[in-house]
Amino acid sequence: MISDTLFTELSSVLEGRLTRSKSDLDQHGQSETWFPLTPPEAVAYPETTEEVAALMKLCHAHDIPVTGFGAGTSLEGQTLAIHGGIVVDFSRMNRVLRINDADMDVVVQPGVTREALNVELRTTGLMFPVDPGANASLGGMAMTRASGTTAVKYGTMRDNVIGLEVVLADGTIVRTGSRARKSAAGYDLTALMVGSEGTLGLITELTLRLHGQPEAVSAAVCAFDEMGPAVEAVIATIQIGLPMARIEFLDADSVNAVNLYSGSDFPLKPHLFVEFNGSEQAVSEQVDLFGEIVHDFGGSDFNWATKPEDRTALWTMRHHAYWAILALRKGAKAVVTDICVPISKLAQAVEETAEDIKASPLDGPILGHVGDGNFHAILLVDPNDEAEIKEAKRLAHLMAERALKLGGTITGEHGIGMGKKSLMIEEHGEAWAMMGAIKAALDPKNILNPGKIVP
């Protein structure tokens, strides 16, 4: 509990940027999915690393829980302050600090969004490719180890964060990693922090790897009569090493939702959304080879989007698919699954998941970044209907168990948060306790995002 005296002291280190206003508390207590409203006791708006450190020192001294908040786009309740305390909103730490063109890296504050960064990079010939769909903050993307549509070519946040500045639970400021292309200097603390969901420290600065903007880009959609051949075409594409920039799957229900939401008129069949980039010659060769694969698996001719505005419209539709699916049922919320399996097991996982949903009273369109074996079922529920939520959790657990049996993981990109913590012991066994030991060593008072990830 934050007393009035402590609130005043905490507010002073932020020059008054600490609030208890109901609108702020409610805004920071909401989730994009089915979790109930969980407002914190106060919301802080720091502007510098030093302010974050001073705030953490006071919270550490008084055992006040602290939860980080970027853009609030996470799907597993990572930003919900389930034990009260303070939510630290990083939206005012939103500067691009240094662009290092020659070394192809950039230093940013955590509140910079991926879209804002790419606007800054537009004239440099460089880009930051990780694209989870939502215009998430880069700090939040690092903390959840986000990926998205481009991971099949450019990797995830794990691959593209090369250094961090982090404030620990007691207010200590540490730097991890370097701008060198490789290092064998001890434990990889950057990798430890990426994906830690704010349970080990608060990121106040990131150094990110950049990539060159491609000479040529071409995107297309194609339809299949059945789900299985569409997924098999993806597997064949990946196994021959065809360098796709994006390869996304939408089942017929997802396509229907996108049509209704965006006014498109795709056939109500399973679809692949694909993108190629590189040199003009390379893209042409990739397109021809992929066309042969699609034809072999019974896919339709491509509907191409070669103009930038057409590609933007195409990927906007894909990125809005989550909202399109929610709009299928008025007032619905979603329990979102996020399993990832070895590419050879993808067709089995998708088809068996579809059978599970078909046998359930719930609707659950399937879509995903199938180029790396990751897909989602968006299970629509009435948030006030306990029976529906229970059924959605049952389906999600079934899918997670299947992923583990197939050699995969319970979450490819959304993280653990509140929704998947109960599954951690099944995936990690005794290694889950090791994670708890790391947490206890860095945050012995358990004030950083308590209740998330670890036992």
The stretch 394-411 carries a mean pLDDT of 98
pLDDT of the residue at 307: 84
Per DSSP, what are the bridge partners of residue 212?
Answer: 126
Q: What kind of fold does domain 4-89 have according to CATH?
A: 3.30.43
- DSSP codes of every residue in 249-289: EE-HHHHHHHHHHH-----SS-EEEEEEEESHHHHHHHHHH
H-state helical runs in 37-101? 49-62
pLDDT of the residue at 170: 99
Residue 187, CA distances (Å) to 160, 182, 192, 337, 443 in order? 18, 13, 9, 32, 18
The stretch 386-412 carries a mean pLDDT of 97
User: What is the C-alpha to C-alpha distance for residues 251 and 22, in angstroms, rounded to an integer?
Assistant: 41
Taking only the tens place, the pLDDT of each residue in 298-344 is: 999 888 887 889 898 899 999 999 999 999 999 999 999 999 999 99
Domain with CATH 3.30.70.2190 in the chain: 216-324
* CB burial string 388-401: b at 16+ within 10 A, e below: bbebbbebbbbbbe
Mapped onto helix, strand or coil, the DSSP state of residue 317 is: helix
pLDDT band at 134 (very low <50, low <70, confident <90, very high): confident
Taking only the tens place, the pLDDT of each residue in 213-258 is: 999 999 999 999 999 999 999 999 999 999 999 999 999 999 999 9
Tokens of 203: 């990121």
Tokens of 116: 């804002």
> Mean of the per-residue pLDDT values for the chain?
96
Taking only the tens place, the pLDDT of each residue in 176-222 is: 999 999 999 999 999 999 999 999 999 999 999 999 999 999 999 99
Say yes or no to pLDDT of 141 above 80.
yes
Taking only the tens place, the pLDDT of each residue in 34-84 is: 999 999 999 999 999 999 999 999 999 999 999 999 999 999 999 999 999
pLDDT of the residue at 161: 98
Instruction: Please count the other Cβ atoms lying within 10 Å of the Cβ belonging to residue 119.
Output: 11
The secondary element (H helix, E strand) that includes residue 218 is: strand 216-223
pLDDT of the residue at 406: 98
* Overall pTM > 0.75: yes
pLDDT of the residue at 239: 92
Task: Compute the C-alpha angle 101/107/110, nearest 5°.
Answer: 145
Q: CB-based contacts of 434: which residues, under 8 Å, 6+ apart?
A: none
pLDDT band at 374 (very low <50, low <70, confident <90, very high): very high
pLDDT of the residue at 353: 98
Domain with CATH 3.30.43.10 in the chain: 4-89
Strands (E), 279-411: 303-305, 333-336, 366-368, 376-381
Domain with CATH 3.30.465.10 in the chain: 96-212
Domain with CATH 3.30.70.2740 in the chain: 329-428
CATH for 96-212 is 3.30.465.10
Tokens of 9: 């002291």
pLDDT band at 124 (very low <50, low <70, confident <90, very high): very high
pLDDT of the residue at 392: 97
CATH for 216-324 is 3.30.70.2190
The stretch 118-126 carries a mean pLDDT of 97
CATH for 329-428 is 3.30.70.2740
Taking only the tens place, the pLDDT of each residue in 261-311 is: 999 999 999 999 999 999 999 999 999 999 999 999 999 988 888 788 989
